[in-house]
Structure 1
């Protein structure tokens, strides 16, 4: 006789999982493998992917932090923010990616409800800090290069304040589900946890929380990034036009344009799936959708722990040179001088 797995979870973790259009039941994601949602091969593939994110994300971000600590020349105000980004990525990688890797291997949230809350809180906190760090980086570059405040100098104290602000915002986003505004529940294939953005339980005010996240934790930083980088590009293009004979200025303009495009695309790849899917669910209550699709946003956001450092840090010539030296690989002095020259050229394009 087939066992009955229709077990109602504790109230703050209960979630209905539709097996087909005519049958609504609840298979506990904390007690049994969720094989009704996908094949074992799918779960094991996800486990392997999360293991890769755990190893790669942990290694790259730990290397970034160690490199910044070891080399004094990397401790600039901009690099404070990049190290803050690495700390947030490391938090998501060590706790979030590892928990997902372990649970996907068992095909359910084997660590239990408490671990679900811890993983959901940590991933949300680290994700929000990472997201807002990107906005602070964009704002800092706008201030330094475009000089909208004239002689205002962006100092280390301002960078530290910006880093602190990202953690305040991160806590503001991650704490509410622990106190009744939304909740942390298994999502997608039920092997990772996140704030509840796809159930219709009005008790937890999920819709208002989703709108809060969308507006304050996606729309505002995205608008900041687009505005700052668009102004930066306009400034560089005007400088390149005014200095058409300067090869270094033209090169700096092309390099920054490429980097801006990559940064904006990276931001959208990381957060657009979550934002668009959550808003679709909120605005189409009652519409059926494949719950497995909810795993996709989680994959993209956790993958940011790997590609964000590549975009913001490993593509930085000075950072890359120091990392090569720390790893015993001969770094190129030409790279560092070229990087310094580019920074000098870019810093000159703003208004005096």
Structure 2
């Protein structure tokens, strides 16, 4: 048997004729042209992992479907939450909801059959939806971080969020996502089966410049750029909150009072708490998607340590980020918890009371300041 050379990979006889079969053995004829020969070297994956992946994905799908559905319902029907900034939160919940609604059922079906059985068109649809909604999620988080930056760091000098501005940002997010996800559909790279061939994603094993340029551009503009903008925003948010708290403590010490907190300070504290919620959500998104990005980069730089099990778990774990956001908001978002208690009290754990300003301390501060004046 002759050695095959394909896009920079050398696939010899030991890869093409495994005694115990290959992970590509069950590939349907209509999908064969999309499967990269790199996967021929791997034996079929243990059926246990297909069952484990299916169970994990089903659980994540239920949590995401119910959790994000509730977030969309609460934020769209509660007057106190109908703010311009929360339109971005609503956009985030909708994209996460759509991610699992479109991807979870298809992947579970393919895991049952142990290969992609839905045909090339649905492979494109699956990968496009995963890429589109993941793209929308990260850029929604980026816009949320930038809004927190405007409110907390710039304060009154910052640009206030309006419904018009929020809608413009949402339209920009979806347009940007559509550009990157449409690329493989029109010839800039392509969507192909990956790992144990029950999932589809961007081509990252080819050595040609066309798919490599797409993957490099996609990584830069859909991962690194938003992460940089988020880190930049939160660096200054944390610094501003820390400086404010330090100034408050020093002033209170000088005036011999326990606290200088007024209603305005509590509002600022509430903004800081919302920033923490957003920071937690973004951190979990990064933790979920970074392993899959690393796998893509390993293929990009011809690192032949990628296995079907590693790849499919990376892809599945990335999608699990969509079920995290409703849990974070349910635990940490003050007004969301109050609204959730009113509409779905069985889902609330712990107290929903918001911290109130220390009136006595505020009055004492005012009186002492007046006497000194």
TM-score exceeds 0.5:
yes
Q: Is the 8 A contact 1:322 1:331 kept in 2?
A: no
**Structure whose CA Rg is larger:** 2
RMSD of Structure 2 on Structure 1 (CA): 3.1
Describe the superposition over 1:266-311 as per-residue Cα deviations: whole angstroms up to 9, x where unpaired: 132122112222223212x263432321113212221011112323
1:161 aligns with 2:168: yes
Q: How far apart in 2 are the matches of 1:307 and 1:64?
A: 12
Q: Note the residue ranges of structure 2 that are not aligned, 5 or more in a row.
A: 1-19, 253-258, 359-373
Gap change, CA 1:148 and 1:188, over 3 Å in 2: farther
Deviation larger for 43-52 or 147-156: 147-156
How far residue 49 of structure 1 moved from its aligned partner, in angstroms, is 0.9
Shift of 1:14: 3.2
Task: Tell me, in whole angstroms, the C-alpha distance in 2 between the residues paired with 1:135 and 1:20.
Answer: 40
Query: Among 260, 277, 280, which residue is 2:295 paired with?
Result: 277
In 1, Cα distance between the equivalents of 2:343 and 2:329? Answer: 19
In the other structure, the counterpart of 1:191 is 198
Residue 200 of structure 1 is matched in structure 2 by 206
- Which is worse superposed, 88-97 or 187-196? 187-196
Q: Is 1:223–2:244 an aligned residue pair? A: no
User: What is the Cα deviation at residue 80 of structure 1?
Assistant: 0.5
Q: Confirm or deny: 8 A CA contact 2:27 2:115 kept in the other structure.
A: no
Q: In structure 1, what is the equivalent of residue 246 of structure 2?
A: 241
- TM-score, structure 2 length as denominator? 0.77
Given that 2:128 and 2:181 are in contact with CA atoms closer than 8 Å, whether structure 1 keeps it comes out as yes
Query: Which digits, 9 at most, give the CA deviation of each residue in 1:27-83, with x for residues without a partner?
Result: xxxxxxxxx331111101111111111111111111111112221211112211011
Matched, 1:307 2:324: yes
Q: 1:11 to 1:235 in 2, by over 3 A?
A: same
Question: Contact 2:194–2:201 at 8 Å: present in 1 too?
Answer: yes
CA distance 1:286–1:140, change in 2 (3 Å): closer
Shift in CA distance, 270/314, structure 1 to aligned 2, threshold 3 Å? same
Match of 2:34 among 1, 6, 13: 13
- Aligned partner of 1:46 in structure 2 is 53
- Give per-residue Cα distances to partners, 1:174-222, cap 9 Å, x unaligned: 100111111111122211111112x2252x8111011011110011100
Do the aligned partners of residues 261 and 68 (structure 1) sit closer, same or farther apart at CA in structure 2, a change above 3 Å counting?
A: closer
* Superposition deviation, residue 96 in structure 1: 0.8
| Equivalent residue in structure 2 for 1:292, among 297, 305, 309 | 309
- Label 1:7 to 1:329 Cα distance change in 2 as closer, same or farther (>3 A): closer
Change in Cα spacing, 1:232 to 1:79, as seen in structure 2 (3 Å) is same
Match of residue 266, structure 1, among 284, 304, 308: 284
Distance 2:27 2:111 in 1: 21
Instruction: Look up the match of 1:81.
Output: 88
How far the C-alpha of 1:259 sits from its partner, in A, is 4.2
Check whether the contact 1:136–1:162 (CA below 8 A) recurs between aligned residues.
Answer: yes
2:186 corresponds to which residue? Answer: 179
